[in-house]
Structure 1
């Protein structure tokens, strides 16, 4: 009798206590295509899909993935249908796509302002055999019909498209563009949804958010990230879902948090080649949630204690700040030397390399951009040190990005162009502003410390002059003391190597926001 009493008591308690209310669930559909048998193949879309899949699986999402030849429209459609069927009101479905996009004449006359429908191109599509392969594209009208199914159940949708549908390139980079050739002739609709979906406009949705890799006028190139071809949007979104975009550490990512994180990190990782595009362009509310990171966790009751945000605006104390090495920074870059020259220090990294043309004196980024000119043996170490430091700053920015602006917004500027740079006060009391010049020099611009009159830093009339290449305007905000770093920057002979030592000593693994504004220049466009 004594042995059974605890079991009976436990049973009675289980019956008496109400079942917990669980947080909304998140479902994820991930598609990535590199191999296009009938078109130019890509190099980084499958890496993108695998990276996003890992981050969303780790976040506890119910995730389905299709890559390369697995990415068949009927299978993707079924996966979507199954997710909509499983989801309940308040749940979220995230659909991510990395691969080619393209355009074709609109299927329904008058449907599109530019007369063109856009579509995601799956590997089975062949422009020369459209009648047989038209089912292997997903037209924008069809996507709208899919989204409407979810919204009709009260399910939120986030669509992340790391592809492009138009746009030309001003800079001479070597990464492949995720833009397939346009279909020139008017084609028969691939499905009834492609017709019915024309009546559904993206702007009319109330619970659908679309995040595109670039503006309509821009291409979406594959860029080198951590030594490999990647999509800057997919890389940034994977880091966002890992928790880096959850600025206040409350377990959800709001639309505003996602915007701030994605805009800054896509700029950093693409070297300002692309500007992401949200639809709708403005958040529906200040607290609109687009990603819930907690899955299967009981909703907090009224007596739950939470950690408040610090008075100085810093993120919650409970949020982990990683060191740059924990984020993948190695302190080395990969360098290919074309010609005869001694190899500089910190140039033994792996992956797609920077390239130094010794005879021509030109230093190229892994993407193929001209980063510096007139680089001889006397300057190569300074240029290498700059990019080692820049990689460190990008690692810091990947978990706490800031926001700055350069106007007019372009991916490259010519001699004589006049620019304006703005760095607003951040949510930390101390700010440092400096430029990493294309020569490898460090140029100190401003320091604002707690207790002084904090204001926006502006360069209001900057003229582009020689030498040309890639400068990087850096802003750091922190609650940590910055006087020692300021002293290093104020030294007229400061080097990137010395500044790196100061930053790793003072700020590595500490709360600090970092904004990076690439500035690429050449004599004429």
Structure 2
């Protein structure tokens, strides 16, 4: 009789909640490497892996994690094999990697258009002893073979790669790049899979999605997030899995939801240094699912259809915002208010009047004691807006797309209509000034906002164009913005009073400028 109880219970649950007992399982394989004994080490990849691991575990995934010296190819391969063996058709495996990527001469002649294979570099690889250590790289051909194993069983795959293989940047960033030096010599294939996998590149994978941190022409830098070096893609993906990307609260993240969330937040957190890259570039369907957040019964986190729960919005302080920044002062000057924060600091060179971001960018020029508080207040407000955006990011565009613009460049800024009736548009200038651009209120939907043929002029540094869409009343905020003498501190107070913890969508468009070359 006892043996029958689990079966009867399972039958009852299946009848009571159709599909719940047979819901698909999600597996996570997480790899993060900071310590490279034979190469330049990184600072934030293990933080990325730990963050993603926590978010996956909280979402109910079955997760295996490898960091630093634990990240050995044979162990990673076995974990993948075990997951594929256990998974059933309809399940999902998410493989995330944070660490160095690199390139080498193609293993199979004519296999790559650029003549180069890409690989993930594990700690045991030494390019000065490549014949002995070539087993400690994972070549793109091998990954094709791994993905084909899952696809053959009807298992979905999402590969999230927070690394890079090529590219350069125009801005002066002090964070490390996740790009190891290219291997110049032609290596022997590290495995038979590396040879066989070349033939799989022509396969049209139907259930594999790849999310890379940046375009092939861009680097993947480590940037400062919440005071610590991080990968912007890993940070954004962890927040997505926590549920922030699940706009309708149905327990699943579609490809389109993930795109919308990741593109916006990677731009916000990298200060527009990166543009993520999806493969395939276009979603296979409007309803294509890439992440299932939970497995279980309604009430235990899994909801569907009419039972979907709306997204809950948290106040900024619950998301880590402190109302302070860390500031290092080079020179003799009084310390501004709200600068006793922790983590990698902003820096103010008093003699030269230059204000630097924690990433090493020039944020503002000609900043003296009379302007420093306004600049500090701007970045305190910007952090507040980034916290809001992490829950419900909007999308805006600046054309042409560059990481830095020179004097005389002409730009176009577009903020599309939002799904809320009210909209605010303003600029946080590099000097700390707040510049009101537009307000739309009490409509059924906001209209498109455009700035066309904008010319880059002095002063140079970092501006941030902000768009907020909401169903909450915005007249009081608009009144504050309309004051020509409004400060960032006053605007912050108005936003905290009216929108903190409320449903609102926030888009942030960084605009870094400099003197013409």
Give the TM bin, normalised by the shorter chain: over 0.9
In structure 1, C-alpha distance between the alignment counterparts of 2:64 and 2:447, rounded to whole Å:
48
Distance 1:12 1:81 in 2: 30
How well do the aligned residues superpose, as a CA RMSD in angstroms? 2.1
| Aligned equivalent of 1:492 | 484
Equivalents in 2 of 1:195, 1:9: separation in Å? 50
Q: How does 1:51-62 map to 2 (within 5 A)?
A: 51-62=51-62
Q: Which residue of 2 aligns with 1:162?
A: 162
**1:455 shift after superposition:** 1.9
Q: Secondary structure at the match of 1:160?
A: strand
Matching of residues 103-252 of structure 1 within 5 Å:
103-201=103-201, 204-252=204-252
Q: Deviations over 1:17-72 (max 9, x none)?
A: 47563210000000000000000000000000000000000001000000000000
TM-score normalized with structure 1 length: 0.94
Looking at structure 2, the residues matched to 142 and 8 of structure 1 have their Cα atoms a distance apart, in angstroms, of 44
1:378 equivalenced with 2:335 (yes/no) = no
Matched, 1:425 2:391: no
TM-score with structure 2 setting the length: 0.96
Give the C-alpha shift of residue 16 in structure 1: 7.2
Measured against aligned partners, the alpha-carbon deviations of 1:497-518 in whole angstroms (never above 9, x if no partner) come to 0000000000000000000000
1:118-165 CA deviation, whole Å, 9 max, x = no partner?
000000000010111000000000000000000000000000000000
Report the Cα offset of residue 454 of structure 1. 3.6
Distance, in Å, in 1 between the alignment partners of 2:157 and 2:3 is 45
Contact 2:33/2:99 (CA < 8 Å) preserved in 1? yes
**Pair 1:391 & 2:359 matched:** no
How far is the alpha carbon of 1:451 from its aligned partner? Answer: 2.8
**Aligned residue pairs: how many?**
510
Match of 1:451 among 440, 443, 465: 443
Aligned to 1:320: 312
Cα gap change, 1:9 to 1:520, in 2 (>3 Å): closer
**Residues 259-297 of structure 1: CA deviation (Å, up to 9, x unaligned):** 000000000000000100000000000000000012133
Aligned twin of 1:407: 399
5+ residue gaps, structure 1, are 309-315
For the residues of structure 2 that align with 1:293 and 1:274, how far apart are their CA atoms? 26
Q: Residues of 2 paired with 1:304 and 1:37: CA distance? A: 48
* CA distance 1:154–1:403, shift in 2 (3 Å): same
Question: CA offsets per residue over residues 207-235 of structure 1, 9 Å max, x none?
Answer: 00000000000000000000000000000
User: Please, which runs of 5 or more residues in structure 2 have no aligned partner?
Assistant: 16-20
**Which shows bigger deviation, 193-202 or 130-139?**
193-202
1:479 equivalent to 2:471? Answer yes
Q: 1:354 aligns with which of 346, 349, 371?
A: 346
- Deviation of 1:186 (Å): 1.1
Match of residue 48 from structure 2: 48
CA gap of 1:455–1:12, structure 2 versus 1, over 3 A, is closer
How far off is 1:202 after superposition?
6.9
What SS does structure 1 have at the residue aligned with 2:316? Answer: coil
1:29 aligns with 2:13: no
Pairs within 5 Å for 1:258-407: 258-297=258-297, 306=306, 318-407=310-399
Structure 2 CA distance for aligned equivalents of residues 477 and 43 of structure 1? 36
Partners of 1:168 and 1:219 within 8 A in 2:
yes
Three-state SS of the structure 1 residue aligned to 2:238 is: helix
- Counterpart selection for 1:517 from 499, 509, 513: 509
Q: Encode CA deviations 1:456-505: one digit per residue, 9 max, x unaligned.
A: 10001100000000000000000000000000000010100000000000
Shift in CA distance, 169/453, structure 1 to aligned 2, threshold 3 Å: closer
- Classify 1:305/1:256 alpha carbon distance in 2 versus 1 (closer, same or farther; 3 Å): closer
Q: CA deviation at 1:201?
A: 1.8
SS at match of 1:500: helix
Q: Deviations over 1:72-97 (max 9, x none)?
A: 00000000000000000000000000
Q: CA deviation at 1:299?
A: 12
